[in-house]
């Protein structure tokens, strides 16, 4: 998107006034609550949107409780059925069961709306606004509750909605003029301020760098490929500079090298120019390197969610004492698990004919298996990768990834997973290029055979 197009995207959508009126209605309803339960999703957008609701009640000295969940299913609905007051953030819009809840309900969501869910809801989809790209759970919650603006931007970055468009952009422009956010164009990898170059590259995610991610040694080699002493620090012995310490010429060389690496490693799936773009800085948080930049902040939130510590993420958003220190420890753990996972994956990934197979059961956490699979998926690929891991309940979690080219040749991983899982009592789906599933553990052998047949069929159908 060109700068011009982005600027244009800040024009209010047709039904913007209606959206704002509903936001006001939700805010008043929340303000009348005495002791609400906030139910929020466990990812970055869910944690930040839930924190916005929490801060709203704290500012008004209204006591509240929180329940952070992975999925709003019948078990959760049963648990909360007697609650008198409920605020849902980043979920609740798409579930039929919400209609039947007895208590007062306010929904602040951006997912597709279930047709018979008529509870009080602020949701872009109800107003002809695309909730996939123009408003996330946290920015939606912000328009209603008007607190924790930094968290709102972090939620949007966490849901990959940057550069901001539409209503997200309206909010961004407002926050820029209030000096709460700065939006310089720069390399869009987190850790620019705080990490020496090899770590900066190794632990980047969204996008992670295939072949480099999780591997500091390879990152050192990559930097030497740019120039023998490239990025070396004269003050830190044997150490490297941070990205921010590079001069502008060095920055350009690094970005150029990364762009060609990405283009090659993803077979063009990730265009190099996407590495550079709008970034978001929070002047009020400049004292905290992990929170100063939105990408870094969102990585911390995702780490909290993935390691079953959503409350830590909420505490960080609310600025509770000691929370950020704990968050730093969690990030260290997260990076170690990622690095160990990637090391392990490089050793055990096998060519199974129609696909590459990574068995991470018992070694790689189910919250990380998708990221690890993406990191080790090598360049110039001619087949998709399928990775498995075990979740808390002992089920097999399946992650798959392909390339644009394979999709053009007929591959559809979302369909393939659904087709191969459903008859075996699993659930699966997603996009053609990347999809996930969950399966009873005893069915895995049968599944692998069936999956191989399905994708062979898909690829053959196209080439014949
Ligand atoms: Mn979301």
d(CA 398, CA 375): 16
Strand stretches in 23-134, DSSP E: 37-41, 65-69, 85-89, 104-108, 121-122
Write the DSSP assignment of 416-435 as a string of letters: HHHHHHGGGT-EEEE-SSEE
Q: How far is the CA of 137 from the centre of ligand 1 (A)?
A: 5
Closest CA to 268 of 65, 90, 69, 404: 404
User: In this predicted structure, what is the pLDDT of residue 159?
Assistant: 87
Q: How far is the CA of 436 from the centre of ligand 1 (A)?
A: 18
414: containing domain: 349-463
CA dihedral 8→168→129→76, nearest 10 degrees, is 170
User: In this predicted structure, what is the pLDDT of residue 271?
Assistant: 67
Say whether both 192 and 325 belong to one domain.
yes
Q: How far is the CA of 91 from the centre of ligand 1 (A)?
A: 8
Task: CATH number of the domain at 146, please.
Answer: 3.90.1640.30
Q: How far is the CA of 139 from the centre of ligand 1 (A)?
A: 9
Render pLDDT for 166-215 as a digit per residue (tens, 0 to 9): 999 999 999 999 999 999 988 888 777 778 899 889 877 666 787 787 78
Say whether both 21 and 46 belong to one domain.
yes
Of the residues 123, 157, 179, the one at which a domain ends: 179
Q: How far is the CA of 354 from the centre of ligand 1 (A)?
A: 34
Q: How far is the CA of 65 from the centre of ligand 1 (A)?
A: 20
Q: How far is the CA of 229 from the centre of ligand 1 (A)?
A: 42
Say whether both 104 and 148 belong to one domain.
yes
Give me 261's structure tokens.
Answer: 């690496």
Least confident of 30-44, 61-75, 218-232, 395-409: 395-409
Give the Cα-Cα-Cα angle 172, 49, 333 (nearest 5 degrees): 105
Q: How far is the CA of 428 from the centre of ligand 1 (A)?
A: 20
Q: How far is the CA of 400 from the centre of ligand 1 (A)?
A: 21
Domains identified in the chain, total number: 3
DSSP 395: P
Say whether both 387 and 456 belong to one domain.
yes
User: In this predicted structure, what is the pLDDT of residue 132?
Assistant: 86
Question: Residues of the chain with pLDDT > 90: what percent?
Answer: 61
Q: How far is the CA of 311 from the centre of ligand 1 (A)?
A: 17
Q: How far is the CA of 298 from the centre of ligand 1 (A)?
A: 12
Ordered alpha helix ranges (H), 318-443: 323-348, 369-376, 404-408, 413-421
Render pLDDT for 84-123 as a digit per residue (tens, 0 to 9): 999 999 999 888 889 999 999 999 999 888 888 889 999 9
Q: How far is the CA of 258 from the centre of ligand 1 (A)?
A: 29
Q: Check: CB of residue 385 under 8 Å from CB of residue 355.
A: yes
Q: How far is the CA of 159 from the centre of ligand 1 (A)?
A: 6
Of the residues 149, 179, 209, the one at which a domain ends: 179
267 CA to centre of own chain: 22
Residue 344, domain member (yes or no): no
Give the Cα-Cα-Cα angle 154, 48, 303 (nearest 5 degrees): 80
Of the residues 134, 151, 179, the one at which a domain ends: 179
Say whether both 212 and 277 belong to one domain.
yes
User: In this predicted structure, what is the pLDDT of residue 4?
Assistant: 62
pLDDT at 324 over 70: yes
Q: How far is the CA of 186 from the centre of ligand 1 (A)?
A: 25
Q: How far is the CA of 27 from the centre of ligand 1 (A)?
A: 20
Looking at the DSSP bridge assignments, the partners of residue 400 are 386, 435
Say whether both 366 and 428 belong to one domain.
yes
Render pLDDT for 408-461 as a digit per residue (tens, 0 to 9): 899 999 899 999 999 999 888 777 888 889 999 999 999 999 999 999 999 886
Render pLDDT for 374-417 as a digit per residue (tens, 0 to 9): 878 755 578 999 999 998 889 999 999 888 788 889 999 989 99
User: In this predicted structure, what is the pLDDT of residue 464?
Assistant: 44
Q: Check: CB of residue 295 under 8 Å from CB of residue 157.
A: yes
Say whether both 11 and 160 belong to one domain.
yes
Q: How far is the CA of 119 from the centre of ligand 1 (A)?
A: 19
Q: How far is the CA of 129 from the centre of ligand 1 (A)?
A: 15
263 CA to centre of own chain: 22
Say whether both 22 and 171 belong to one domain.
yes
Write the DSSP assignment of 262-307 as a string of letters: HHHHTTTSS-GGGGEEE--B-GGGTT-HHHHBHHHHHHHHHHHHHT
Q: What is the overall mean pLDDT for the chain? A: 90
- Identify the three-state secondary structure at position 196: strand
Say whether both 123 and 207 belong to one domain.
no
Task: For 90-110, give the secondary structure using H, E and C.
Answer: CCCCCCHHHHHCCCEEEEECC
Q: How confident is the model at residue 2 (pLDDT cuts 50, 70, 90)?
A: low
Give me 162's structure tokens.
Answer: 């940057």
């Amino acid at each position: 998107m060109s700068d011009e197009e982005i600027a244009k995207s800040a024009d209010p959508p047709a039904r913007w006034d209606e959206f704002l009126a509903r936001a006001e209605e939700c805010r008043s309803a929340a303000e009348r609550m005495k002791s609400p339960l906030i139910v929020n999703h466990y990812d970055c957008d869910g944690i930040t949107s839930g924190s916005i609701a929490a801060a709203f009640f704290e500012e008004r000295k209204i006591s509240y409780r929180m329940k952070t969940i992975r999925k709003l299913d019948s078990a959760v609905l049963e648990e909360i059925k007697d609650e008198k007051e409920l605020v849902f953030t980043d979920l609740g819009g798409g579930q039929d069961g919400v209609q039947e809840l007895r208590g007062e309900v306010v929904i602040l969501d951006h997912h597709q709306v279930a047709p018979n869910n008529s509870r009080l809801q602020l949701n872009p989809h109800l107003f002809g606004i695309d909730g996939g790209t123009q408003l996330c759970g946290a920015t939606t919650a912000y328009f209603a509750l008007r607190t924790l603006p930094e968290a709102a931007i972090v939620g949007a970055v966490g849901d990959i909605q940057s550069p901001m468009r539409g209503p997200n952009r309206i909010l961004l422009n407002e926050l820029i003029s209030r000096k709460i956010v700065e939006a310089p164009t720069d390399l869009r990898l987190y850790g620019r301020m705080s990490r020496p170059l090899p770590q900066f590259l190794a632990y980047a995610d969204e996008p992670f760098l295939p072949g480099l991610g999780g591997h500091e040694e390879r990152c050192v080699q990559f930097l030497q490929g740019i120039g023998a002493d490239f990025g070396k620090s004269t003050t830190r012995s044997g150490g490297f500079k941070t990205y921010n310490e590079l001069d502008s010429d060095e920055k350009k060389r690094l970005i150029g090298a990364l762009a060609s690496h990405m283009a090659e490693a993803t077979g063009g799936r990730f265009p190099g120019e996407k590495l550079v773009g709008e970034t978001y800085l929070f002047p009020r948080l400049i004292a905290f390197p992990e929170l100063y930049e939105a990408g870094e902040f969102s990585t911390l939130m995702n780490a909290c969610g993935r390691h079953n510590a959503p409350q830590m993420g909420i505490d960080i958003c609310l600025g509770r004492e000691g929370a950020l220190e704990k968050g730093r420890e969690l990030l260290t753990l997260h990076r170690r698990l990622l690095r160990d996972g990637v090391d392990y994956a490089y050793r055990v990934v096998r060519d199974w004919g129609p696909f590459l197979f990574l068995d991470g059961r018992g070694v790689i956490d189910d919250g990380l298996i998708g990221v690890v699979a993406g990191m080790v998926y090598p360049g110039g690929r001619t087949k998709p990768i399928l990775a498995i891991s075990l979740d808390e309940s002992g089920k097999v979690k399946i992650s798959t990834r392909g390339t644009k080219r394979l999709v053009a040749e007929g591959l559809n991983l979302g369909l393939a997973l659904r087709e191969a899982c459903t008859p075996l009592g699993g659930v699966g789906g997603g996009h053609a290029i990347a999809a996930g599933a969950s399966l009873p553990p005893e069915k895995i052998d049968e599944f692998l055979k069936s999956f191989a047949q399905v994708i062979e069929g898909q690829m053959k159908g196209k080439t014949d």
